[in-house]
Amino acid sequence: MIIRTCRRAGLAACLQTTTTTGRSTTTTMPLLSLVGLVPGVGTASDIVVDGTTHRAYVASREFGLSVVNVSTPSAPMVIGASNPPFYGQRVAVAGTLAVGTAGGLGFRVVDLTRPTAPRTVGSLSGTFSGVAFAGTTAYATVAGQSGTDLVVVDLTTPAAPDIVGRVSLGSGGDLRVVGSLAYVAAGGNGLKIVNVTNPNRPIVVGTVALPGLTLGVAVSGTTAYVAGSSTIQVVDVTDPTHPRSIGSLATAAHAVAVAGKRLFAVDGSLFKVIDITTPRTPVLLTSTPGYGAQQLAVAGTAAYLASPNLGGGAGGLSLQNVAASPPTLIANYHDGANDTGVAVVGSLAVTGAGNGGMPVLDLTTPTAPRVAGTFPGFTTAVALAGHTAYAVQLGSSVDLVVVDVATPASPAFVGRLTVGAGGDLKVVGSLVYVASGSYGLKIVDVSTPRRPTLVNTVDTPGLATEVAIANGIAYVADSTSVQVIDVTNPNTAAVIGSLATSASAIAVSGTRAYAVDGSQLKIIDITHPVRPVLLNATPGFGAPQGIVVSGTVAYLATPALTHGDVPTGGVSAVDLSDPAHPRLLDQLVVPGTIRKLALDSRFLYASDTASILDVIGR
């Protein structure tokens, strides 16, 4: 007997162990794993650019770390994202390793040996902020017992990062390491310089008091430029033990970067270019829109701004041509989608991505799903049968749209029918069943795809949000009840039973229906469909909004605002073998927010606001 009893929380994944007692074998192992995803940049919070490889490394709260090909700045292309994902705040890169801080969620180490498939391999707990990296040694600011400490982390074994040295700073955030010195923007304590020649005994060798709060630092030769809440300070660090302020500019900045005789700064609103030909007298040359950028990097003639909001709530990257004066916009790059539907057949998938339309995805390589094409229009629910997709689209009316996806790169419109509303679709043969909100259940004949025809509408008392079909019966999640509708003859479909229990999503397996309502998992006996019986209603699985079932295992989709919502957010696997005591088997972190799931014989699939589609091993 093999019992899977692993519960995953972030990177602390369970390791497989096997114990044999007599004729029983107990195996503890992960049940769920993130096999593949569509990488994106997410809500960018930091960026590092390697001008040699033409790659940008982006920290975000959704993916943790993303790798972007910027060889053509006007057409940046995301080629990989860390797996497992994490909450990324700051990032530093050296060779084939990256390190990222995640605020109160700790410190992560990412293996970049394959840039198209970065792997999160190590972690440390704690509250980390700034980070720098050189060789196999990382440096980070972390909350200590009496304020902020600078820690030295040995990454000789990336899977087991080891703090080998520590020094108290009182306060500190951003940092840069040049040679054997670490320069730390220490908040209200100015700029601190730490000698890290001996990693086991870092020593603060110099401090200079500066006005306001220091937030960021860049170093060029013997000069440090310090971003502050009210000014940019110029500090002579020729003698690290006696740093001294030699100039300033009355402009606020969160972060700064140096390239030649120019200093570039962002303040959360503006992107600023400053002439530092004479460091003692910096001159502000231009201030242009910065798209809310908090951090930046410069390589060649391009500046890369990590922005939490490029407009419309989308975070991402803003690429600026700094050879021009004022700088000109090269491109704003962002991703993201709604998570309102997913359907899979063979090596093809479609998702409901809201304003992002209906992406058509190629799953030939499950570890690297890719968007082959997109059908335009605001899309919510989706279904797929063969090479025909069905989607609910919102425009001047709410329509059921039939789309030919035989050529995934060029999905083609086939037919349309106004349905009024639609939160979910199921296809059975030549019929599409639409959970149509206040209209109830709509049954549409699609035997002639160019002319979908309404066959019947069965009114339900609440709002029909999802439907499951089994053995000629439709089970409708209807907000305040579960409605049972006989659809054996679609023309005379009628309600034959109901259960007064709230439900927003529903799935059927055998003689059981399983529903969620945003707070509880409900198990319903449908042996006699006219008399459904509630067997159990169990809280404790977060706030699930989607459900699919395979055998005696239910998979729940629970939206999570950030990876800090773990363990309640993401995908949960629940053992249903004992209806009286459903049991959590495992929980998996995914990049974004998820609400809808789909199954095939191999994998579980989730529509994802960040990565469009997640492929999950089960």
Q: What is the pLDDT of residues 354-405, one digit of tens each?
A: 999 999 999 999 999 999 999 999 999 999 999 999 999 999 999 999 999 9
Domain assignment present for residue 317? The answer is: no
Q: Where residue 540 falls among pLDDT bands split at 50, 70, 90?
A: confident
**One-letter amino acid for residue 344 of the chain:** V
How confident is the model over 148-202, as pLDDT tens digits? 999 999 999 999 999 999 999 988 889 999 999 999 999 999 999 999 999 999 9
Antiparallel, parallel or unpaired: β 594-599 and 453-458? unpaired
| CA dist., res. 292 & res. 56, Å (int) | 19
Supply angle C-alpha 305, 310, 314, rounded to 5.
120
Torsion angle (degrees, nearest 10) of CA 180, 184, 189, 192: 10
Work out the burial of residue 113: count CB atoms within 10 Å of its CB; fewer than 13 is exposed, 13-18 middle, 19 or more buried.
exposed
Contact between 362 and 321 (Cβ < 8 Å): no
| CA dist., res. 63 & res. 56, Å (int) | 14
Q: Where residue 512 falls among pLDDT bands split at 50, 70, 90?
A: very high
Instruction: Give the model's pLDDT for residue 146.
Output: 82
Instruction: Give the model's pLDDT for residue 334.
Output: 87
Torsion angle (degrees, nearest 10) of CA 418, 424, 429, 431: -30
Instruction: Give the model's pLDDT for residue 145.
Output: 82
Could you tell me where the DSSP H helices lie in 358-436?
A: none
Instruction: Pick the closest to residue 497 from 526, 523, 520 (CA basis).
Output: 526
Instruction: Give the model's pLDDT for residue 337.
Output: 80
| CA dist., res. 62 & res. 37, Å (int) | 12
Q: What is the mean pLDDT of residues 416-440?
A: 97
- Residue 246 CA, distance from chain mean position: 43
How confident is the model over 332-362, as pLDDT tens digits? 888 878 889 999 999 999 999 999 999 999 9
| CA dist., res. 506 & res. 379, Å (int) | 21
Peptide bond into 326 cis (omega under 30): yes
Average pLDDT, the chain: 92
> Is 127's pLDDT higher than 60?
yes
> Is 564's pLDDT higher than 90?
no
Give the residue with greater pLDDT, 343 vs 11. 343
- The DSSP element (H or E) to which 357 belongs, if any, is none
* Three-class SS state of 564: helix
Instruction: Give the model's pLDDT for residue 542.
Output: 85
Domain assignment present for residue 3? The answer is: yes
> Is 544's pLDDT higher than 80?
yes
Using the 8-state DSSP alphabet, how is residue 444 labeled? Answer: E
| CA dist., res. 598 & res. 600, Å (int) | 7
Domain assignment present for residue 94? The answer is: no
Q: Considering its fold, how many domains does the chain have in total?
A: 2
Antiparallel, parallel or unpaired: β 232-236 and 223-228? antiparallel
**Residue whose pair of structure tokens reads 């029909």 in the numeric block:** 464
Q: Where residue 9 falls among pLDDT bands split at 50, 70, 90?
A: very low
SS percent in the chain: helix, strand, coil, step 5: 0, 55, 45
- The DSSP element (H or E) to which 54 belongs, if any, is none
Supply angle C-alpha 16, 21, 23, rounded to 5.
105
Instruction: Give the model's pLDDT for residue 311.
Output: 67
42 CB-near residues (< 8 Å, 6+ apart)? 58, 60, 61, 62, 63, 66, 88, 315, 316, 335, 336, 591, 592, 610
How confident is the model over 97-108, as pLDDT tens digits? 999 998 888 999
The residues facing 473 across adjacent strands are: 470, 486
Instruction: Give the model's pLDDT for residue 28.
Output: 43
Instruction: Give the model's pLDDT for residue 563.
Output: 65
Instruction: Give the model's pLDDT for residue 299.
Output: 94
Domain assignment present for residue 444? The answer is: yes
How confident is the model over 84-124, as pLDDT tens digits? 999 999 999 999 999 999 888 899 999 999 999 999 999 99
Instruction: Give the model's pLDDT for residue 312.
Output: 63
Domain assignment present for residue 383? The answer is: yes
Strand stretches in 364-511, DSSP E: 370-375, 378-385, 388-394, 398-404, 412-418, 424-428, 431-435, 441-445, 453-458, 466-470, 473-477, 482-486, 494-499, 505-509
> Is 1's pLDDT higher than 60?
no
Instruction: Give the model's pLDDT for residue 489.
Output: 97
Measured in degrees and rounded to the nearest 5, phi and psi for residue 492 equal -120, 25
> Is 15's pLDDT higher than 80?
no
Instruction: Give the model's pLDDT for residue 244.
Output: 97
- The DSSP element (H or E) to which 461 belongs, if any, is none
211 CB-near residues (< 8 Å, 6+ apart)? 228, 230, 231, 233
Domain assignment present for residue 232? The answer is: no
Domain assignment present for residue 269? The answer is: no
| CA dist., res. 403 & res. 401, Å (int) | 6
Contact between 433 and 419 (Cβ < 8 Å): no
Domain assignment present for residue 135? The answer is: no
| CA dist., res. 135 & res. 122, Å (int) | 17
| CA dist., res. 618 & res. 109, Å (int) | 25
| CA dist., res. 504 & res. 494, Å (int) | 20
CB atoms < 10 A from the CB of 599, how many? Answer: 16
**Residue whose pair of structure tokens reads 């500066």 in the numeric block:** 210
Q: Which domain holds residue 371?
A: 341-617
Give the rounded percent of residues in the chain with a pLDDT score beyond 70: 93
> Is 547's pLDDT higher than 80?
yes
How confident is the model over 515-528, as pLDDT tens digits? 999 999 999 999 99
**Residue whose pair of structure tokens reads 């990590």 in the numeric block:** 306
| CA dist., res. 413 & res. 269, Å (int) | 42
**Residue whose pair of structure tokens reads 């996806």 in the numeric block:** 405
Instruction: Give the model's pLDDT for residue 174.
Output: 94
Contact between 347 and 591 (Cβ < 8 Å): no
Q: Where residue 144 falls among pLDDT bands split at 50, 70, 90?
A: confident
Using the 8-state DSSP alphabet, how is residue 262 labeled? Answer: E
Residue 159, token pair as written in the block: 């899977």
Contact between 233 and 273 (Cβ < 8 Å): no
| CA dist., res. 618 & res. 448, Å (int) | 37
Q: Where residue 559 falls among pLDDT bands split at 50, 70, 90?
A: confident
Instruction: Give the model's pLDDT for residue 248.
Output: 97
